[in-house]
Structure formats: structure tokens, C-alpha cells
Amino acid sequence: MEIKQTLILETTDSVSKALPQLDEHPAVIVTKKGRYYGIIDHHSLSQNVREPHNTKCETVVVRPPVLFETAQMFDQMEAFLTGHYKALPVINKDHRPLGITTRVELLKEMVKNKMIPQLSVSEIMSSPVQTVDEKDSVGTVKRIMKESRLRRLVVTSNDSLIGIVSAYDVGAWSNRPNLFSTGRKDIKHLQINVDGMRISEFLRPDVALVEEGANVQAAVKKMVDKQVSAVIITSEGKPVGVLSALDIFKTVHEMTKDGIRINVAGLNDDNMNHYNHINDKIGHVLEKYIKTFNIRNCNVHVKEGKSSFDVNLNFDTDHGHLSMKSEGEFLKECIDEVAEEADIVLGKKREKVKPKIKRRED
């Protein structure tokens, strides 16, 4: 595992010390009396930090999964699949921080070990994409991100792709103009309506593009070369999808794990932490009946609305195709309900197919 150095602060340090470092690194490590305590990233900074000079690091840390220096690739994949973290902390056996590792470092290790799947990008990309115009305001883009539940938007000018903007690009600065004094060095004014600024001020123009017909290996090479964790998939110059490192981790995890394989679709970065719960909860149920029914082609699709989730489970058996659905406010509860329904349905079917024991007549 490749470990990158980053700034290490104490819980009592002010958040303002972390801001310049986050221009160059995805996360800063926070310790308490020298032992690992948590990290600060752009996402955690977007949580109501209005006075960075007077805010202690302890109050804004997040605690992603921690990796020990001996962690294997599958451990790293599973850790990244628990959430939206761009970087994870690496510690030693004494819980002293060694640095961070990122999605790109893991991709490089997977390339080295020939673990990139032999698939087309169109097979695992997220599609369609949401576009915004370069003249749209930050406030408009934030609203679109919230309504669409997307963390990455493609920016266009006269319908031509010119860049990409993510929640990380605007999250830490929106509605917090006083952060600019120690953060964005190119903006000097402290009193500014960030939501009124054009999104062109925040986009990353050096966007990584990959043609729809390319394979995943080509996409990973582009990610590693440009040090990014996602690429835009295009067809005839138009954006048609997004392929992220998390999509690749999820695919490899599904292809190589023991037991029944569940194809999970529809999870975005914000609810990717439910990926393992889907595999554990639903997978455990299906494993009980796999020998009886020869369960295969199992798919779980998650659809997130404005205030609810739909979870659809479907799979093939030797006795026909089966599907279950649950809708509710909380994703975990929907997953549990689908798993419970599958257990009930398959349990009843198994009772019907059990061979009846003939009574012996004396």
C-alpha cells in the first residue's frame, strides 16, 4: 500500500491550520495526544464552519474506516466502499498516524496486480449524467446536486463539455466567505456572495475523458495519469456517463468475493456505505436457499427520490424469476424489508418442493 504524507494536527489546533493543506491534499489527520483521532476533509468542513480561526479541529473531524499499514487490497476496497471518503488514514499498531492513502493509490496497486476487470466502461459506468451551464450560479448547482442526489456535475458552454464540478469543489466554500482568507488563495475579498458566483469559478477544466467504447483498463490509466478518481464517459463528444474508482472497486469486489454474487446498482457516494449491508443482509438470505433453487443473476437496484428510497431485488431460479420491492424513508430499513420478504417467499417455496415422506403401512 502506498502511503502519502499529509499534515497532522492536534485536536486543540484551529481549523484554519488545515485549510491551506486541503488545497493540495484530500485530507488532514487529527491526533489526540499523538494518537490517531480522525481526519478533516472538504466534506467535514462544509458542516457549519463559519469561524475557522476559533474552531477546534476536534469539533469537525470525521472518522472513516482506519487502515493498518499491513492492510491488503480487499481490505482497502471494502473500506472505501463504506462511504464517500477520498482518502483513508493509515496507522501503525500503536495507533500512531503514518499518513493517508487515496482511491488513486489503490487503483495503481490494482493495476500492478492485474486486478482491473476486462470490461467495457459502458458496462459499469453511472448513466445518464447531469449537466449545468458555466453561467449557472453556485447556488443553482447546489440545488441541482441536492435534487438529483449527485456529487458530480458536468459543466458545458454552448452545449460543449468544458469541465466537471463536484460537491467537494463548492461544499467547503459556499455560504462561508470568511474561509477564503485562509483557503482559496485566488479570492481575497472576505465579504462575497459565494452562492451568486458563477460555477465556472469552481470547475476543474482539466477533466479526464474516455470514449464509451474504451475498456476499464484505459479509464483507470487516465485516472492514474491525471490523479483523479473519476472520468467522464463520452460518445461523439457528448457526456453519457461517469465512471468512478468506487464503481471499479464495487465491480471487483462482486467478481471476486466468495458466495453468491449480487450486482448492486443505484448507490451514489453518499449512500455507498450501505453496499456491504446489502451484500451481507440479502446475501445471507440467498445463501440459505442457493442449493435448493440454484439462485443466480441476482440484482439489487436502489432508487433515491426526494424523500424516500426504492429497493428492488430480483434473481433467477430453476423455478422461475423472482422479484421483491420495498419503499421507505430509510435505505437500511428498505434493504432489511427486502431481505425479510425474500426469506419468507423462498422459505414457503422450499416447503413446497421438499419431498413428502410416505407413511409406511404395516
Return the CATH number at 177: 3.10.580.10
pLDDT for position 47:
59
330 pLDDT band (50/70/90 cuts)? very high
Range of the domain at 90: 8-112
Evaluate if residue 286 carries a pLDDT over 80: yes
3 within a domain of the structure (yes/no): no
Tell me, yes or no, if the pTM score tops 0.75.
Answer: no
Residue among 19, 43, 16, 40 nearest 29 (CA): 40
Residue 361 falls inside a structural domain: no
Residue 106 lies in a domain: yes
Choosing from 247, 273, 299, the residue where a domain stops is 247
Report pLDDT for 105.
95
Q: How far apart are CA 40 and CA 20, in angstroms?
A: 12
Please give the grid coordinates belonging to residue 248: 471499479
Domain contains 253: no
User: Which pLDDT band, with edges at 50, 70 and 90, does 85 fall under?
Assistant: confident
Q: Are residues 266 and 312 in the same domain?
A: yes
Residues 289 and 331 both lie in one domain: yes
Question: What average pLDDT is seen over the chain?
Answer: 84
C-beta separation of 62 from 39 below 8 A:
yes
pLDDT in tens, 345-360: 999 998 887 655 454 5
Residues 68 and 178 in one domain: no
